[in-house]
A and B are shown apart, each in its own frame.
Chain A
Amino acid sequence: MPSPFILDRSSVTQVMAWVLAALLPGVLVYVWLFGPGILVTLSLATVTALAAEAAMLKARGYPAKPFLTDLSAIVTAWLLALSLPSLAPWWLIVTGTLFAIVVAKHLYGGLGQNIFNPAMVGYAVLIVSFPVQMTQWAGPLELTTAHLTLAQSASVIFGGDLPKTTLDAVTMATPLDALRTGLLQQHTVDEIMTQPIFGHYGGTGFEWLAAAFLLGGLVLWALRIISWHVPLAFLAGIWLTAGFLHFFDAGRFGAPWFHLFAPSVMLGAFFIATDPVSGATTPRGKLIFGLGAGFLTIAIRTWGGFPDGVAFAILLMNLCVPLIDQYTQPRIYGGASRTKEPPA
């Protein structure tokens, strides 16, 4: 056995556990402001992910224990669940999770090998295949006329019967949807923003969810589990792009703060774009990756066919990672430039 003979106490499990812990403030705020339905989604995604992970490990001849306990599958499940509409039907959750774990993770070679962020692949597949079901968002409790209990939420998710009127009373268009629809109907941003779904910065309720994800992200940064490069660059990319457009024509483009305080942005900035496996590795590369993802998010929101662009933006940047990494190799100690000479 070779040196070194001692190790720091870190482990993949520990890293993933912190990521899950940092998501908890977001989950709590979610339950508090949007009802307990998200807990059903999270549980279903978790169970599906673990089952799929175990099955794939077995099929690929890997030992189950070290890989199941690394918690990476659960992180993927939670990130997907938190990105899905909170009252999405069960089969949508299962399909998305299966796609994330089986195809995006294991068929690409398993832990550490996937080019694309698995949760975002799952999300992208769902929104492309089932755009209608992907709009079943529970509205913020303070705006909806009826509230669902945990059992009722589970019932909705598992396809149980609920009077159509009740379902209509609990679901609402998300702020991004509302903005998009309003703009398509030739309203100005200011007119649209008078709707109750819009809050101080982002959407009513949604902005608090975004703040909770931001808080969790700051904890991860404080623990040095993530570096500041990607989140900062991502947020800066969004702010600069949205700000530029807003400055250019405030009637047709949402304010930068509004774009920034969407839950998907904070989740994306601190938890998804920072996924080390599918992200850039060099400091400069991380900045480019984040800026690019931020820019693309706004571009897709503004000109693309989908209300939100975080998932596609991150996937597109995932694609560029090898190139980014290759061209942003940092200077080494002693400042040699890249050399192809054989050793002296």
Chain B
Amino acid sequence: MSRELFKFKGGVHPPGHKSESNSRPIHAAPLPKKLVIPLRQHIGNPAKPVVEVGERVKKGQLIGEADGYISCAVHASSSGTVTAIDMQTMPHASGLPDLCITIETDGRDEWIAHAPLDYRAMVPAELRMRLRDMGIAGLGGAVFPSAVKLDPGAAQACPTLIINGGECEPWITCDDVLMRHRADEILQGVTVMRHLLGSTEILVGIEDNKPEAVAAMQAAAAKMDFAVEVVAVPARYPGGGAKQMIETLTGKQVPSGKLSTDIGIQVFNVGTTYALARAVHHGEPLISRLVTVTGHVLRPQNFEVLIGTPMHTLITLAGDRDGTTGVLMGGPMMGVPMPDLEVPVVKATNCILVKSNELFPPLPRALPCIRCTRCADACPAELQPQELFRFAKAGDFGRAQEYHLFDCIECGCCSYVCPSHIPLVDYYRYAKGEIWAREKEKRAADLARERHEFRLFRLEREKKEKAEKLAAKAQAKRAELAADPSASGAPDADAKKALIAAALARAQAKKAEVAPKNVDHLTPEQQHSIEEIEARRAKIRELAHQPLESEEKP
């Protein structure tokens, strides 16, 4: 129980604001009249709709199937009728619409037939595909398809499995209450993960500001037939980040640009683990999750919410108040402002944080950077945020990349401590966006150039082939003539034309071959030998083509 803990670099101590919402029991949010279920709720390819407008669906029924390996299915969260498959506003910073399936619920909440999986009897790959088809994705925020992460790959096994109950973001408590009230089921999910990954060491990391969760998980762990070490780690944002949790528990850092599995560690959020347990032991796809509704509401608490429930219904349920200045999905450090409150709860929605001016005063005016490097001291990615800021601001994206812009995890620690109140993360997002856009443009341009070059090449080839065809014909004719001198005369013009064309084609081919090379200042000998070689090659090509032509002839 006295595991040696390690300190990750950087981090900050924002006020936790956990007690507002973590003392009330979990309430099931009532069934809404309408569910809007986006087909893209995970990282990877969006799901493909498999229902039609007007179709009746049951709770848990597949409505969007996974499209490829890195993808995830989506399901009807309740029974009802599909009323639309169209673009709807998404709970995303961009506010851009995306394809969603709208279900008008019938209030019966009627389940589709489902049964637990006998996972021990299944081939691992088959089990993983089932999990993908049951919509299991990371609920800690990244929503990466879990099936992919449960594949130990070439290594055959992933020795260390970390269950992340860090929940370091202020205000959010959905993992906390889940661990308090459903610890046993979380560990049932761990059983399946351990089975798939072949892990021998199971660690559960929980920040020490959640003593009740630690106690509940420890009690549950004691009942398991394999060792599960529940570890309280010092609360420090972003200690619940996967990389930080790994470092705290093992002292290892994930090499830049690599995956944690490369160092034999896989990390799952407790919510994901719970969802996996529901899927395997009850046969239930991922159609609901815990959501913290907190901040400027009357009764901050956690709800069990069906995916697709409009956010405003939850705020009403928690008691909306005057003076609301905005709503975030997620916490105050990395949360995303919601474009409107009709947007649905999705798999990534861990928290709905209602803002007011008292709780979240408008940020003060930014002053110039004074290079105090407090940001660098706070950066868990161990970057130099002040330099990234300087380069991003100056539009020097090359230097920004040299200074590891893409290792920035956008945790917000740098902005949080900056005495000049510079919205640093915003500059990094902007710079990343610009670099991606340019990269994409460049790729598009490269592709276009390749296509163009290929077209030129094709035209050239076709021309050559045509000429060679003609030449062959002429040759055949001449052979004919030689064999039958009586038929001389008229066709001569044709043959001549063909010969000229063939010569032209050869000359052109030669030019095409030679032109791109360094052909200046060649000695006459070199020139001669090149010409010889080219001529020979041209002949070989001709020869290679001729049988083809003859075959084509009827």
Interface residue range, chain A: 35 or more
Within A126-183, which residues are at the interface with B (CB < 8 Å)? none
Within A264-283, which residues are at the interface with B (CB < 8 Å)? 276-277, 279, 281-282
A305 at the interface (CB under 8 A from B): no
Known: A6-B14, A70-B367. A334 touches B407 (CB 8 A): yes
CB-CB under 8 A from B355, the residues of chain A are 5
Is chain A's binding surface mostly helix, strand, loop or mixed? loop
Q: Are A111 and B370 in contact (CB under 8 A)?
A: yes
Q: Are B367 and A67 in contact (CB under 8 A)?
A: yes
Complex: chain B residue closest to A331, CB-CB = B382
A8 to B377, CA, bound (A): 14
Contact string against B for A residues 319-344, beta-carbon threshold 8 Å, 1 for contact and 0 otherwise: 00000010001111111101110111
A11 at the interface (CB under 8 A from B): yes
Q: Are B412 and A112 in contact (CB under 8 A)?
A: no
Task: Name the one of A227, A329, A344 contacting B403, with C-beta atoms under 8 angstroms.
Answer: A329
A113 at the interface (CB under 8 A from B): yes
A-contacting 9-mer, from B34-42, B173-181, B223-231, B331-339 = B331-339
B349 at the interface (CB under 8 A from A): no
Complex: chain B residue closest to A112, CB-CB = B368
Q: Are B14 and A336 in contact (CB under 8 A)?
A: no
A29 at the interface (CB under 8 A from B): no
Within A34-90, which residues are at the interface with B (CB < 8 Å)? 66-67, 70, 72
A113 to B404, CA, bound (A): 23
Q: How far apart are B13's CB and chain A's nearest CB, in angstroms?
A: 9
A33 at the interface (CB under 8 A from B): no
A14 at the interface (CB under 8 A from B): yes
A-contacting 9-mer, from B96-104, B251-259, B517-525 = B251-259
Q: Are B365 and A66 in contact (CB under 8 A)?
A: yes
Q: Are A2 and B436 in contact (CB under 8 A)?
A: no
Task: Name the one of A6, A67, A110, A277 contacting B360, with C-beta atoms under 8 angstroms.
Answer: A6
Q: Are A1 and B370 in contact (CB under 8 A)?
A: no
Contact string against A for B residues 2-39, beta-carbon threshold 8 Å, 1 for contact and 0 otherwise: 00000011001011000000000000000000000000
Contact string against B for A residues 5-24, beta-carbon threshold 8 Å, 1 for contact and 0 otherwise: 11110111011000000000
Q: How far apart are B85's CB and chain A's nearest CB, in angstroms?
A: 32
B364 at the interface (CB under 8 A from A): yes
Contact string against A for B residues 400-436, beta-carbon threshold 8 Å, 1 for contact and 0 otherwise: 0111101100101001111111010110010000011
Known: A1-B337, A3-B336, A329-B384. A334 touches B371 (CB 8 A): no
Q: Are A342 and B336 in contact (CB under 8 A)?
A: no
A12 to B374, CA, bound (A): 12
A334 to B365, CA, bound (A): 34
Known: A2-B426, A281-B373, A338-B402. A333 touches B416 (CB 8 A): no
Q: Are B373 and A334 in contact (CB under 8 A)?
A: no
A148 to B371, CA, bound (A): 42
Q: Are B255 and A334 in contact (CB under 8 A)?
A: yes
Complex: chain A residue closest to B369, CB-CB = A112
Q: Are B417 and A10 in contact (CB under 8 A)?
A: yes
CB-CB under 8 A from B58, the residues of chain A are none
A103 to B412, CA, bound (A): 35
CB-CB under 8 A from A333, the residues of chain B are 8-9, 243, 253, 256, 380-383, 407
Complex: chain B residue closest to A63, CB-CB = B365
Most buried by B among A6, A72, A344: A6
Q: How far apart are B418's CB and chain A's nearest CB, in angstroms?
A: 8
Contact string against A for B residues 237-255, beta-carbon threshold 8 Å, 1 for contact and 0 otherwise: 0000001000000000111
CB-CB under 8 A from B365, the residues of chain A are 66
Complex: chain A residue closest to B355, CB-CB = A5
Q: Are A11 and B387 in contact (CB under 8 A)?
A: no
Complex: chain A residue closest to B335, CB-CB = A3
Task: Name the one of A5, A111, A281 contacting B367, with C-beta atoms under 8 angstroms.
Answer: A111
B159 at the interface (CB under 8 A from A): no
Within A289-344, which residues are at the interface with B (CB < 8 Å)? 325, 329-336, 338-340, 342-344
CB-CB under 8 A from B384, the residues of chain A are 281-282, 329-330
Known: A3-B333, A281-B386. A11 touches B421 (CB 8 A): yes
Task: Name the one of A3, A72, A334 contacting B334, with C-beta atoms under 8 angstroms.
Answer: A3
CB-CB under 8 A from B122, the residues of chain A are none
Complex: chain A residue closest to B410, CB-CB = A3
Known: A7-B415, A11-B364, A338-B402. A279 touches B371 (CB 8 A): yes
Q: Are A6 and B334 in contact (CB under 8 A)?
A: no
CB-CB under 8 A from B420, the residues of chain A are 11-12, 112
Q: Are B360 and A5 in contact (CB under 8 A)?
A: yes
Q: Are B253 and A1 in contact (CB under 8 A)?
A: no
Q: Are B421 and A332 in contact (CB under 8 A)?
A: no
CB-CB under 8 A from B402, the residues of chain A are 338-340
Q: Given contacts A12-B420, A276-B372, A336-B404, list 10 more A-B pairs with CB under 8 A.
A: A5-B332, A5-B360, A6-B333, A112-B369, A112-B420, A276-B373, A281-B376, A330-B384, A333-B243, A342-B401
User: A-side interface residues toward B, CB under 8 Å?
Assistant: 1-8, 10-12, 14-15, 66-67, 70, 72, 110-113, 227, 276-277, 279, 281-282, 325, 329-336, 338-340, 342-344
Smallest CB-CB A-B distances: 6 pairs: A336-B256, A4-B412, A334-B256, A112-B368, A276-B372, A5-B332
User: B-side interface residues toward A, CB under 8 Å?
Assistant: 8-9, 12, 14-15, 93, 170, 243, 253-258, 326, 328, 330, 332-337, 355, 360, 363-365, 367-374, 376-377, 380-384, 386-387, 398, 401-404, 406-407, 410, 412, 415-421, 423, 425-426, 429, 435-436, 439
Can you list 29 A-B pairs with a CB-CB distance of less than 8 A? A1-B326, A1-B363, A2-B426, A4-B416, A4-B425, A5-B335, A5-B360, A6-B332, A7-B363, A8-B14, A8-B416, A12-B420, A14-B419, A112-B370, A112-B371, A227-B373, A276-B370, A276-B373, A277-B370, A282-B376, A282-B384, A332-B383, A333-B9, A333-B407, A339-B404, A340-B401, A343-B401, A343-B436, A344-B257
